[in-house]
Amino acid sequence: MKKRICLFAFIGIVLLIVSFIIIKSTPDNPSSLNSKEDTTEKSISTEPIPETVIVENDSSLEEAPSIQIIMVGDMLMHERVMESGLLEDGTYNFDHIFVNVKDTIENADLAIVNQETILGGSELGLSGYPAFNSPYELGDSLVNAGFDVILHATNHTLDKGKTGVLNCMNFWDNNYPNITYLGINKSQEEWDTNIFIYEQEGIKIAILNYTYGTNGINPPSDMPYIVNYLDEEKVIQDLAYAEENADFTIVCPHWGTEYVLTATDSQKNWARLFMENGADLVIGTHPHVIEPIEMLTDENGNEMLVYYSIGNFVNGTSGTGFGTTNRMLGGIADVTISLNENKEAYVKEYDVIPVVCHIDEKTNYTVYYLSDYTEDMAKENDIVSQDSDFSLEALNNLVEEVWE
């Protein structure tokens, strides 16, 4: 009997201890437990599971790297544009041109500019159209604005002959060795092998720059390699190197017909050649007006994005009448490059940001985003004296006609 009582007592004590443990392990706020259960039920989906599943906070599934590249069009330094940068002490400063769009330039991973005119320096005599020569201080302002790559292969590259190009290269080499300039060369070796490849986030991007010609001025006989021309053999050779050594290739051709809002047959033929030889992106300059943007696809499904022309960034045209307005509108090409699931580089996103060259009383030149431009500003733009049709509406209509 005592054994039974002891046994019952022992069992009672055990049950008491177990009950105490269960009570202590229960959360103080039972509603939080219920909310967790509700959340778990809601997270269950009856939809088919997609092939690619993104799991947040899973370090084993990292977001694909991406690189934002922007490019602006022609820096066309007419005399009036140069005068806008002249200071009292005789030096120049052109920071005012970029102040309203500097954020886009600085924030890009890689910013490219088409420097239409050669930086030959004051010692060669500064000049505008038709034989341009710009001051070195323009290069200072390009760097201050945030540009990383300067394109120099244009029809005006040889306006000041061999000396102008050598002065320009020496300026960059001596003052900004970390800035990349393309399209001009100091040696045969550079012409043969100097393909610029930019690398970031494990993505290698080749950038090539050529011009259709140099206004009938032949390269010097002792430096036939001084300018990169659109020569089919040369272009194919460079693209082959880029295809082998880079993940993504950008071609920046100076091509087309001035003041024409559509791509020519020549541009389309070159674009086809670029695509057939591995190019991924083409951003064109020279027409001084904007031209269409399109995504080309070859028979194998490979794509190549083409901006046929992004127009002028800044200019001081003396043109008058119909069509002058078109020269005041340009675009900033905005392209994001990323890697797909096969680790292949591709165009993830692309856009174009319309910009307007604004002239204030013929003395001050600056560039605005079209989205920030107002009708009152358009009325005050001195270009109205050259083309009475210039207006905010005309600019918006041009964007709609060509880019939308």
Contact (CB, 8 A) for 331 and 354: yes
Quote the DSSP letter at residue 48.
P
Angle subtended at Cα 85 by Cα 111 and Cα 118, rounded to the nearest 5 degrees: 55
Amino acid type, 159:
D
**Residue 239: Cβ within 10 Å count:** 22
| Tens digits of residue pLDDT in 136-170 | 999 999 999 999 999 999 999 999 999 999 999 99
What is the rounded distance in angstroms from the CA atom of residue 330 to the CA atom of residue 312? 5
Amino acid type, 241:
Y
What is the rounded distance in angstroms from the CA atom of residue 232 to the CA atom of residue 359? 40
**Residue 106: Cβ within 10 Å count:** 14
Kindly state the tokens that stand for 244.
């082998």
Task: Give pLDDT, residue 362.
Answer: 58
What is the rounded distance in angstroms from the CA atom of residue 166 to the CA atom of residue 118? 10
Task: Give pLDDT, residue 242.
Answer: 98
**Residue 286: Cβ within 10 Å count:** 23
Angle subtended at Cα 350 by Cα 344 and Cα 351, rounded to the nearest 5 degrees: 170
Domains present along the chain, CATH in parentheses: 66-403 (3.60.21.10)
pLDDT less than 70: residues of the chain = 1-62, 362-363
Task: Give pLDDT, residue 193.
Answer: 85
| Tens digits of residue pLDDT in 120-139 | 999 999 999 999 999 999 99
What is residue 56's three-state secondary structure? coil
Kindly state the tokens that stand for 40.
């778990």
Amino acid type, 130:
P
| Helices 265-276 and 232-245: angle between axes, nearest 10 degrees | 40
Among 70, 61, 54, residue whose Cα is nearest residue 349 = 70
Kindly state the tokens that stand for 253.
């051709």
What is residue 326's three-state secondary structure? helix
**Residue 353: Cβ within 10 Å count:** 17
Task: Give pLDDT, residue 50.
Answer: 30
What is the rounded distance in angstroms from the CA atom of residue 58 to the CA atom of residue 20? 39
What is the rounded distance in angstroms from the CA atom of residue 174 to the CA atom of residue 189? 20
Kindly state the tokens that stand for 181.
């300039």
Contact (CB, 8 A) for 156 and 118: yes
